[in-house]
Amino acid sequence: MTNFEERKLPVRVVLSSMFGGILEFYDFTIYGFLAPQIVPLFFPVQDYIASLILGYGVFSVGFLVRPLGSILFGHFGDIYGRKTALCASILLMAFSTFFMGILPTYETVGIYAAVAILLARVLQGLSAGGEYSGGIIFAVEHSAPNLRGFAGSLVVAGCMGGVFLGSLTAFIFTMPSMPIWSWRIPFMIGLVISLIGFYIRKNADETPDFKSLHKKERTPLLAGIKKSPKECFAAFGIAGCSGMTLYFISVYMPSYLKTISNISATTPKLFSTLCTCTMMLFIPVFGYVSDFIKRDKMMKFGTAVLAFYAFPLFYLINIGNDFTILAAGFAFSFTIAIFMGAMNTYLIELFATSERYSCSAVFYSLGMGILGGTAPMVASILSYYSADGLLLAGYVIMACVLGYSAVFVASRNKNQLIQSFLDAA
Protein backbone atom coordinates (compact mmCIF):
# COMPACT_ATOMS: atom_id res chain seq x y z
CA MET A 1 0.00 0.00 0.00
CA THR A 2 1.19 3.49 -0.82
CA ASN A 3 2.42 5.54 2.13
CA PHE A 4 -0.14 8.33 2.44
CA GLU A 5 2.06 10.16 4.93
CA GLU A 6 4.41 10.90 2.05
CA ARG A 7 1.59 12.14 -0.18
CA LYS A 8 -0.59 14.47 1.90
CA LEU A 9 -1.82 17.27 -0.40
CA PRO A 10 0.27 17.30 -3.60
CA VAL A 11 0.23 21.03 -4.27
CA ARG A 12 1.89 20.86 -7.69
CA VAL A 13 -0.45 18.12 -8.95
CA VAL A 14 -3.56 19.84 -7.59
CA LEU A 15 -2.49 23.13 -9.16
CA SER A 16 -1.90 21.45 -12.51
CA SER A 17 -5.37 19.88 -12.36
CA MET A 18 -6.90 23.19 -11.32
CA PHE A 19 -5.21 25.02 -14.18
CA GLY A 20 -6.28 22.34 -16.62
CA GLY A 21 -9.86 22.68 -15.39
CA ILE A 22 -9.72 26.46 -15.79
CA LEU A 23 -8.58 26.13 -19.38
CA GLU A 24 -11.01 23.39 -20.38
CA PHE A 25 -14.08 25.04 -18.87
CA TYR A 26 -13.17 28.45 -20.19
CA ASP A 27 -13.10 26.94 -23.68
CA PHE A 28 -16.24 24.87 -23.20
CA THR A 29 -18.52 27.54 -21.71
CA ILE A 30 -17.44 30.58 -23.69
CA TYR A 31 -19.99 29.72 -26.37
CA GLY A 32 -22.80 29.86 -23.81
CA PHE A 33 -21.81 33.32 -22.64
CA LEU A 34 -21.42 34.61 -26.20
CA ALA A 35 -24.63 32.97 -27.45
CA PRO A 36 -26.61 36.26 -27.72
CA GLN A 37 -23.90 37.59 -30.10
CA ILE A 38 -23.21 34.34 -31.96
CA VAL A 39 -26.75 33.08 -32.53
CA PRO A 40 -27.91 35.86 -34.91
CA LEU A 41 -24.74 35.39 -36.98
CA PHE A 42 -25.17 31.63 -37.43
CA PHE A 43 -28.93 31.14 -36.91
CA PRO A 44 -30.68 34.24 -38.30
CA VAL A 45 -34.22 33.58 -37.04
CA GLN A 46 -36.58 36.58 -36.78
CA ASP A 47 -38.17 35.61 -33.45
CA TYR A 48 -35.67 36.32 -30.62
CA ILE A 49 -36.98 33.56 -28.33
CA ALA A 50 -36.92 30.99 -31.14
CA SER A 51 -33.40 32.06 -32.09
CA LEU A 52 -32.29 31.81 -28.46
CA ILE A 53 -33.78 28.34 -28.06
CA LEU A 54 -32.00 27.22 -31.24
CA GLY A 55 -28.70 28.69 -30.05
CA TYR A 56 -28.97 27.03 -26.66
CA GLY A 57 -29.85 23.82 -28.48
CA VAL A 58 -26.38 23.94 -30.04
CA PHE A 59 -25.01 24.65 -26.55
CA SER A 60 -26.77 21.48 -25.37
CA VAL A 61 -25.17 19.39 -28.14
CA GLY A 62 -21.79 19.82 -26.47
CA PHE A 63 -23.23 18.17 -23.38
CA LEU A 64 -25.13 15.47 -25.21
CA VAL A 65 -21.93 14.12 -26.82
CA ARG A 66 -19.99 14.30 -23.54
CA PRO A 67 -20.85 10.66 -22.71
CA LEU A 68 -19.12 9.56 -25.93
CA GLY A 69 -16.04 11.51 -24.92
CA SER A 70 -16.14 10.07 -21.43
CA ILE A 71 -16.33 6.53 -22.84
CA LEU A 72 -13.32 7.21 -25.05
CA PHE A 73 -11.13 9.07 -22.55
CA GLY A 74 -12.36 7.05 -19.58
CA HIS A 75 -11.29 3.83 -21.29
CA PHE A 76 -7.86 5.23 -22.11
CA GLY A 77 -7.56 6.62 -18.60
CA ASP A 78 -8.27 3.25 -16.98
CA ILE A 79 -6.07 1.31 -19.41
CA TYR A 80 -3.18 3.61 -20.29
CA GLY A 81 -3.20 6.10 -17.46
CA ARG A 82 -4.91 9.27 -16.25
CA LYS A 83 -2.14 11.54 -17.55
CA THR A 84 -2.35 10.23 -21.14
CA ALA A 85 -6.10 10.73 -21.33
CA LEU A 86 -5.96 14.24 -19.85
CA CYS A 87 -3.26 15.42 -22.25
CA ALA A 88 -5.27 14.18 -25.22
CA SER A 89 -8.48 15.82 -24.01
CA ILE A 90 -6.97 19.27 -23.66
CA LEU A 91 -5.43 19.14 -27.15
CA LEU A 92 -8.82 18.30 -28.64
CA MET A 93 -10.40 21.21 -26.77
CA ALA A 94 -7.70 23.58 -28.03
CA PHE A 95 -8.32 22.61 -31.67
CA SER A 96 -12.13 22.76 -31.50
CA THR A 97 -12.15 26.13 -29.72
CA PHE A 98 -9.81 27.69 -32.26
CA PHE A 99 -11.96 26.25 -35.06
CA MET A 100 -15.06 27.89 -33.59
CA GLY A 101 -13.32 31.26 -33.44
CA ILE A 102 -12.41 31.35 -37.15
CA LEU A 103 -15.70 30.10 -38.60
CA PRO A 104 -17.39 32.16 -41.34
CA THR A 105 -20.94 33.28 -40.55
CA TYR A 106 -24.28 32.47 -42.17
CA GLU A 107 -24.05 35.59 -44.29
CA THR A 108 -20.87 34.24 -45.91
CA VAL A 109 -21.46 30.50 -46.37
CA GLY A 110 -25.12 30.00 -45.51
CA ILE A 111 -26.27 26.84 -43.74
CA TYR A 112 -22.72 25.47 -43.68
CA ALA A 113 -21.92 28.01 -40.94
CA ALA A 114 -24.51 26.43 -38.65
CA VAL A 115 -23.24 22.93 -39.48
CA ALA A 116 -19.65 23.96 -38.76
CA ILE A 117 -20.41 25.50 -35.37
CA LEU A 118 -22.39 22.39 -34.50
CA LEU A 119 -19.35 20.25 -35.38
CA ALA A 120 -17.12 22.42 -33.20
CA ARG A 121 -19.49 21.95 -30.25
CA VAL A 122 -19.41 18.19 -30.82
CA LEU A 123 -15.61 18.16 -30.60
CA GLN A 124 -15.70 20.35 -27.48
CA GLY A 125 -18.19 17.96 -25.92
CA LEU A 126 -15.99 14.95 -26.62
CA SER A 127 -13.07 16.69 -24.92
CA ALA A 128 -15.08 17.81 -21.89
CA GLY A 129 -16.38 14.28 -21.45
CA GLY A 130 -12.93 13.09 -20.43
CA GLU A 131 -11.69 16.23 -18.72
CA TYR A 132 -13.85 16.93 -15.70
CA SER A 133 -13.83 13.58 -13.91
CA GLY A 134 -10.30 12.82 -15.07
CA GLY A 135 -8.89 16.02 -13.61
CA ILE A 136 -10.55 15.39 -10.25
CA ILE A 137 -9.39 11.76 -10.20
CA PHE A 138 -5.86 12.88 -11.00
CA ALA A 139 -5.78 15.18 -7.95
CA VAL A 140 -7.68 12.88 -5.59
CA GLU A 141 -5.59 9.79 -6.34
CA HIS A 142 -2.46 11.75 -5.47
CA SER A 143 -3.88 12.89 -2.11
CA ALA A 144 -4.17 11.42 1.37
CA PRO A 145 -7.64 10.11 2.36
CA ASN A 146 -8.29 12.92 4.85
CA LEU A 147 -7.67 15.57 2.16
CA ARG A 148 -9.39 14.05 -0.83
CA GLY A 149 -12.55 16.08 -0.49
CA PHE A 150 -10.50 19.26 -0.37
CA ALA A 151 -8.30 18.22 -3.31
CA GLY A 152 -11.27 17.31 -5.48
CA SER A 153 -13.09 20.54 -4.64
CA LEU A 154 -10.05 22.62 -5.56
CA VAL A 155 -10.15 21.17 -9.06
CA VAL A 156 -13.86 21.96 -9.26
CA ALA A 157 -13.07 25.51 -8.15
CA GLY A 158 -10.59 25.64 -11.01
CA CYS A 159 -13.33 24.58 -13.41
CA MET A 160 -15.58 27.27 -11.98
CA GLY A 161 -12.66 29.66 -12.41
CA GLY A 162 -12.73 28.80 -16.09
CA VAL A 163 -16.44 29.60 -16.21
CA PHE A 164 -15.73 32.88 -14.39
CA LEU A 165 -12.92 33.71 -16.80
CA GLY A 166 -15.23 32.93 -19.70
CA SER A 167 -17.99 35.20 -18.37
CA LEU A 168 -15.50 38.00 -17.68
CA THR A 169 -13.93 37.70 -21.14
CA ALA A 170 -17.35 37.65 -22.78
CA PHE A 171 -18.34 40.74 -20.80
CA ILE A 172 -15.25 42.63 -21.96
CA PHE A 173 -15.42 41.68 -25.63
CA THR A 174 -19.14 42.34 -26.01
CA MET A 175 -19.08 45.88 -24.65
CA PRO A 176 -20.68 48.47 -26.96
CA SER A 177 -17.28 50.03 -27.68
CA MET A 178 -15.88 46.76 -29.07
CA PRO A 179 -15.96 46.00 -32.84
CA ILE A 180 -18.63 43.62 -34.12
CA TRP A 181 -16.10 40.82 -34.73
CA SER A 182 -14.68 40.98 -31.17
CA TRP A 183 -16.62 37.87 -30.13
CA ARG A 184 -13.93 35.86 -31.95
CA ILE A 185 -11.12 37.05 -29.66
CA PRO A 186 -12.10 34.91 -26.61
CA PHE A 187 -11.84 31.78 -28.77
CA MET A 188 -8.35 32.78 -29.88
CA ILE A 189 -7.36 33.31 -26.24
CA GLY A 190 -8.70 29.83 -25.48
CA LEU A 191 -6.26 28.24 -27.93
CA VAL A 192 -3.25 29.88 -26.27
CA ILE A 193 -4.14 28.97 -22.71
CA SER A 194 -5.09 25.40 -23.72
CA LEU A 195 -1.60 24.83 -25.12
CA ILE A 196 -0.14 26.13 -21.86
CA GLY A 197 -2.32 23.63 -20.00
CA PHE A 198 -1.07 20.79 -22.19
CA TYR A 199 2.53 21.67 -21.35
CA ILE A 200 1.77 21.61 -17.61
CA ARG A 201 0.05 18.24 -17.79
CA LYS A 202 2.72 16.66 -19.93
CA ASN A 203 5.27 17.29 -17.18
CA ALA A 204 3.11 15.90 -14.33
CA ASP A 205 3.54 12.38 -12.87
CA GLU A 206 1.03 9.55 -13.21
CA THR A 207 -1.08 8.89 -10.11
CA PRO A 208 0.23 6.45 -7.46
CA ASP A 209 -3.11 4.63 -7.45
CA PHE A 210 -2.90 3.83 -11.16
CA LYS A 211 0.77 2.83 -10.89
CA SER A 212 -0.07 0.37 -8.11
CA LEU A 213 -3.00 -1.16 -10.01
CA HIS A 214 -2.15 -4.85 -10.46
CA LYS A 215 -5.09 -5.92 -12.61
CA LYS A 216 -6.70 -3.81 -15.32
CA GLU A 217 -10.16 -4.51 -16.69
CA ARG A 218 -10.33 -5.11 -20.44
CA THR A 219 -13.63 -3.21 -20.56
CA PRO A 220 -13.65 -1.07 -17.41
CA LEU A 221 -17.01 0.56 -18.12
CA LEU A 222 -18.85 -2.74 -18.51
CA ALA A 223 -17.09 -4.13 -15.45
CA GLY A 224 -18.15 -1.15 -13.39
CA ILE A 225 -21.77 -1.36 -14.53
CA LYS A 226 -21.84 -5.04 -13.63
CA LYS A 227 -20.25 -4.53 -10.20
CA SER A 228 -22.00 -1.30 -9.18
CA PRO A 229 -25.28 -0.72 -11.06
CA LYS A 230 -26.86 1.23 -8.21
CA GLU A 231 -23.83 3.51 -7.93
CA CYS A 232 -23.93 4.17 -11.68
CA PHE A 233 -27.56 5.22 -11.42
CA ALA A 234 -26.78 7.44 -8.43
CA ALA A 235 -23.88 9.10 -10.25
CA PHE A 236 -26.23 9.96 -13.12
CA GLY A 237 -28.78 11.55 -10.79
CA ILE A 238 -26.21 13.48 -8.75
CA ALA A 239 -24.58 14.87 -11.88
CA GLY A 240 -27.98 15.73 -13.31
CA CYS A 241 -28.88 17.74 -10.22
CA SER A 242 -25.56 19.55 -10.34
CA GLY A 243 -25.86 20.37 -14.04
CA MET A 244 -29.49 21.47 -13.90
CA THR A 245 -28.86 23.95 -11.10
CA LEU A 246 -25.41 25.12 -12.23
CA TYR A 247 -26.22 25.89 -15.87
CA PHE A 248 -29.67 27.18 -15.02
CA ILE A 249 -28.24 29.81 -12.71
CA SER A 250 -25.04 30.68 -14.60
CA VAL A 251 -26.04 30.38 -18.27
CA TYR A 252 -29.82 30.78 -18.53
CA MET A 253 -30.64 33.31 -15.80
CA PRO A 254 -28.79 36.25 -17.42
CA SER A 255 -31.07 35.84 -20.45
CA TYR A 256 -34.13 35.68 -18.18
CA LEU A 257 -33.07 38.84 -16.37
CA LYS A 258 -33.01 40.75 -19.66
CA THR A 259 -36.80 40.37 -19.76
CA ILE A 260 -37.19 42.19 -16.42
CA SER A 261 -37.75 45.91 -16.76
CA ASN A 262 -36.34 48.67 -14.55
CA ILE A 263 -32.98 47.02 -13.87
CA SER A 264 -29.53 48.10 -14.96
CA ALA A 265 -28.34 46.83 -18.35
CA THR A 266 -25.24 45.36 -16.69
CA THR A 267 -27.15 43.43 -13.99
CA PRO A 268 -27.59 40.19 -16.01
CA LYS A 269 -23.85 39.90 -16.63
CA LEU A 270 -23.04 40.92 -13.07
CA PHE A 271 -25.46 38.24 -11.87
CA SER A 272 -23.66 35.51 -13.80
CA THR A 273 -20.25 36.73 -12.65
CA LEU A 274 -21.35 36.95 -9.01
CA CYS A 275 -22.81 33.43 -9.04
CA THR A 276 -19.76 31.89 -10.67
CA CYS A 277 -17.37 33.71 -8.34
CA THR A 278 -19.37 32.68 -5.27
CA MET A 279 -19.24 29.02 -6.24
CA MET A 280 -15.56 29.26 -7.11
CA LEU A 281 -14.79 30.61 -3.62
CA PHE A 282 -17.08 28.42 -1.51
CA ILE A 283 -16.80 25.02 -3.23
CA PRO A 284 -13.27 24.47 -1.77
CA VAL A 285 -14.55 25.55 1.66
CA PHE A 286 -17.30 22.94 1.62
CA GLY A 287 -14.95 20.41 0.03
CA TYR A 288 -12.65 20.83 3.01
CA VAL A 289 -15.60 20.48 5.39
CA SER A 290 -16.59 17.25 3.61
CA ASP A 291 -13.36 15.64 4.85
CA PHE A 292 -14.77 15.95 8.39
CA ILE A 293 -18.54 15.70 7.84
CA LYS A 294 -20.03 12.88 5.78
CA ARG A 295 -20.31 13.96 2.19
CA ASP A 296 -23.76 12.45 1.67
CA LYS A 297 -25.19 14.47 4.59
CA MET A 298 -23.79 17.70 3.17
CA MET A 299 -25.26 16.98 -0.25
CA LYS A 300 -28.69 16.15 1.16
CA PHE A 301 -28.63 19.34 3.21
CA GLY A 302 -27.69 21.47 0.21
CA THR A 303 -30.49 20.12 -2.00
CA ALA A 304 -33.07 20.41 0.79
CA VAL A 305 -32.23 24.05 1.49
CA LEU A 306 -32.23 25.04 -2.18
CA ALA A 307 -35.61 23.37 -2.74
CA PHE A 308 -37.03 25.13 0.33
CA TYR A 309 -36.29 28.64 -0.86
CA ALA A 310 -36.54 28.29 -4.66
CA PHE A 311 -39.89 30.12 -4.75
CA PRO A 312 -38.84 32.91 -2.33
CA LEU A 313 -35.69 33.55 -4.36
CA PHE A 314 -37.67 33.90 -7.56
CA TYR A 315 -39.95 36.32 -5.75
CA LEU A 316 -36.89 38.44 -4.96
CA ILE A 317 -35.74 38.27 -8.57
CA ASN A 318 -39.13 39.29 -9.96
CA ILE A 319 -39.26 42.37 -7.73
CA GLY A 320 -37.04 43.85 -10.40
CA ASN A 321 -34.57 45.50 -8.05
CA ASP A 322 -30.83 45.20 -8.77
CA PHE A 323 -29.97 44.49 -5.13
CA THR A 324 -32.60 41.77 -4.58
CA ILE A 325 -31.63 40.09 -7.85
CA LEU A 326 -27.95 39.92 -6.91
CA ALA A 327 -28.81 38.81 -3.36
CA ALA A 328 -30.92 35.96 -4.74
CA GLY A 329 -28.08 34.98 -7.07
CA PHE A 330 -25.65 34.83 -4.16
CA ALA A 331 -28.04 32.66 -2.12
CA PHE A 332 -28.60 30.30 -5.06
CA SER A 333 -24.91 29.85 -5.79
CA PHE A 334 -23.86 29.57 -2.14
CA THR A 335 -26.27 26.67 -1.63
CA ILE A 336 -25.21 24.96 -4.85
CA ALA A 337 -21.62 25.18 -3.56
CA ILE A 338 -22.59 23.10 -0.51
CA PHE A 339 -23.71 20.30 -2.81
CA MET A 340 -20.86 20.57 -5.31
CA GLY A 341 -18.14 20.89 -2.66
CA ALA A 342 -18.81 17.35 -1.51
CA MET A 343 -20.17 15.89 -4.75
CA ASN A 344 -17.15 15.24 -6.92
CA THR A 345 -14.98 13.28 -4.49
CA TYR A 346 -18.15 11.46 -3.42
CA LEU A 347 -18.71 10.28 -6.99
CA ILE A 348 -15.13 9.07 -7.33
CA GLU A 349 -15.40 7.12 -4.07
CA LEU A 350 -18.27 5.12 -5.50
CA PHE A 351 -16.02 3.14 -7.87
CA ALA A 352 -12.90 0.97 -7.62
CA THR A 353 -9.60 2.13 -9.14
CA SER A 354 -9.76 -0.21 -12.14
CA GLU A 355 -13.01 1.29 -13.49
CA ARG A 356 -13.09 4.62 -11.66
CA TYR A 357 -12.30 6.87 -14.61
CA SER A 358 -14.74 5.18 -17.01
CA CYS A 359 -17.71 4.91 -14.67
CA SER A 360 -17.43 8.27 -12.94
CA ALA A 361 -16.81 10.09 -16.24
CA VAL A 362 -19.52 8.33 -18.25
CA PHE A 363 -22.34 8.59 -15.75
CA TYR A 364 -21.37 12.08 -14.72
CA SER A 365 -21.40 13.09 -18.39
CA LEU A 366 -24.75 11.37 -18.98
CA GLY A 367 -26.38 13.21 -16.10
CA MET A 368 -24.70 16.50 -16.93
CA GLY A 369 -25.43 16.17 -20.66
CA ILE A 370 -29.00 14.90 -20.68
CA LEU A 371 -30.23 16.98 -17.76
CA GLY A 372 -27.66 19.75 -17.22
CA GLY A 373 -26.76 20.62 -20.79
CA THR A 374 -30.41 21.01 -21.75
CA ALA A 375 -31.18 23.23 -18.75
CA PRO A 376 -30.93 26.59 -20.59
CA MET A 377 -33.10 25.33 -23.44
CA VAL A 378 -35.71 23.77 -21.13
CA ALA A 379 -35.75 26.87 -18.96
CA SER A 380 -36.28 29.05 -22.05
CA ILE A 381 -39.35 26.97 -22.94
CA LEU A 382 -40.70 27.08 -19.37
CA SER A 383 -40.30 30.84 -19.17
CA TYR A 384 -42.38 31.18 -22.32
CA TYR A 385 -45.33 29.62 -20.46
CA SER A 386 -44.60 31.20 -17.09
CA ALA A 387 -43.65 34.86 -17.17
CA ASP A 388 -43.67 35.07 -13.36
CA GLY A 389 -41.00 32.36 -13.00
CA LEU A 390 -43.13 29.86 -11.08
CA LEU A 391 -42.36 27.03 -13.49
CA LEU A 392 -38.66 27.92 -13.28
CA ALA A 393 -38.74 27.61 -9.49
CA GLY A 394 -40.47 24.26 -9.91
CA TYR A 395 -37.67 23.18 -12.24
CA VAL A 396 -35.09 23.97 -9.56
CA ILE A 397 -37.09 21.99 -6.98
CA MET A 398 -37.29 19.02 -9.36
CA ALA A 399 -33.50 19.09 -9.71
CA CYS A 400 -33.11 19.10 -5.92
CA VAL A 401 -35.46 16.15 -5.49
CA LEU A 402 -33.46 14.22 -8.07
CA GLY A 403 -30.15 14.99 -6.33
CA TYR A 404 -31.44 14.13 -2.87
CA SER A 405 -32.92 10.83 -4.08
CA ALA A 406 -29.72 9.83 -5.87
CA VAL A 407 -27.57 10.50 -2.80
CA PHE A 408 -30.03 8.55 -0.66
CA VAL A 409 -29.75 5.55 -2.98
CA ALA A 410 -25.94 5.67 -3.11
CA SER A 411 -25.36 6.21 0.61
CA ARG A 412 -27.12 3.07 1.74
CA ASN A 413 -23.97 0.95 1.41
CA LYS A 414 -21.41 3.67 0.82
CA ASN A 415 -19.33 2.99 3.95
CA GLN A 416 -18.31 -0.38 2.55
CA LEU A 417 -17.49 1.22 -0.81
CA ILE A 418 -15.30 3.87 0.81
CA GLN A 419 -13.30 1.19 2.62
CA SER A 420 -12.72 -0.70 -0.61
CA PHE A 421 -11.67 2.57 -2.24
CA LEU A 422 -9.04 3.14 0.45
CA ASP A 423 -7.84 -0.46 0.27
CA ALA A 424 -7.40 -0.18 -3.50
CA ALA A 425 -5.44 3.03 -3.06
More confident residue, 403 or 19: 403
Domain that holds residue 141: 4-424
Mean pLDDT of all residues belonging to the chain: 84
pLDDT at 52: 65
Pairwise CA distance, residues 197 & 16, whole Å: 8
Report whether pLDDT(337) > 60. Answer: yes
Tell me what the mean pLDDT of segment 346-363 comes to: 90
Q: pLDDT tens, 75-106?
A: 989 998 888 898 888 889 888 888 888 888 88
When divided into structural domains, the chain yields a total of 1
Q: pLDDT tens, 194-248?
A: 787 788 778 888 888 888 877 788 889 999 999 889 999 999 999 999 999 988 8
More confident residue, 30 or 358: 358
Q: Is 32 helix (H, G, I), strand (E, B) or coil?
A: helix
Residue 360's domain is classified under what CATH number? 1.20.1250.20
pTM above 0.85, yes or no: no
pLDDT at 47: 60
Q: For the chain, how big is the Rg over CA atoms in Å?
A: 20
Tell me what the mean pLDDT of segment 339-352 comes to: 91
Q: pLDDT tens, 265-276?
A: 788 878 888 888
Asked if 300 contacts 309 with a C-beta cutoff of 8 angstroms, the reply is no
Instruction: DSSP for 245-294, please give it.
Output: HHHIIIIIHHHHHTTSSSS-TTHHHHHHHHHHHHHHHHHHHHHHHTTTS-
Across 10-24, 232-246, 288-302, 328-342, least confident range: 10-24
Q: pLDDT tens, 278-308?
A: 999 999 999 999 999 999 999 999 999 999 9
pLDDT at 46: 64
% of the chain residues with pLDDT over 90: 27
More confident residue, 225 or 320: 225
Residue type, 26: Y
Report whether pLDDT(50) > 70. Answer: no
pLDDT at 49: 65
Across 105-109, 302-306, 400-404, least confident range: 105-109
pLDDT at 424: 42
Residue type, 307: A
Instruction: DSSP for 68-109, please give it.
Output: HHHHHHHHHHHHT-HHHHHHHHHHHHHHHHHHHHT---HHHH
Alpha-carbon distances of 219 from 55, 158, 181, 355, 356, rounded to whole Å? 37, 31, 46, 8, 12
Closest CA to 91 of 127, 133, 117: 127
